[in-house]
Amino acid sequence: MARRFEGTRRDPFRNFNFRIFMGGEEVAACRKMSALDATVNVVKFRATDSPSSVDELMPGRTEYQPVTFEAGVTFADTFEQWAYQLIDHAHQSERQARASEDDFRRDIEVSVLDVDGTEVRRYKLFHCFVTKYQPVSDLAADGNDVLIELLEVAHEGYTRLAVESA
């Protein structure tokens, strides 16, 4: 016999509708974003007076994997300007580099939308900076693909932000 459920159906959110924000402004509607990934390292230890042959375990440092954004190339140049700011940073004097260090670290917010375009989740990545930039994807005379730029950022952690109910 079929089971009957009362109330509203709650399907999992889809992964295709999201927006990227920096400084409160939407900067990209990306084609793809890699997963947010945090790993807590395990510290093994054993006391000399322990009768056990099993290592004791405790949590160590947390590591956050870089996040990659892929977006179609348009006239918008926010990713490009940010990437070249750091690339050019390598050619500056040490004094100039230290003076502008705060400029290349930015917080990024990722807004996840449901199928109706309503924000359902928001994450904030802290102190991001560019570690890899590809201004264009492969070019081919016989190609039929969209031109893609790739931006990889390192960050110092993330958090889930509260979302206002609609």
* Tokens, residue 84: 């070249």
pLDDT tens-place string over residues 103-148: 789 999 999 999 899 999 999 999 999 999 999 999 999 989 999 9
pLDDT tens-place string over residues 6-35: 567 678 888 899 999 998 999 877 899 999
Q: Could you tell me if 129 and 164 are in contact, meaning their C-beta atoms sit under 8 angstroms apart?
A: no
State pTM to two decimals: 0.81
Q: What is the DSSP string of 114-160?
A: -TTS-EEEEEEEEEEEEEEEESS----TT--S--EEEEEEE-S-EEE
DSSP code, position 12: P
Q: How many helices (H) and strands (E) does the chain have?
A: 3, 10
Domains along the sequence of the chain with CATH: 18-44+63-161 (2.30.110)
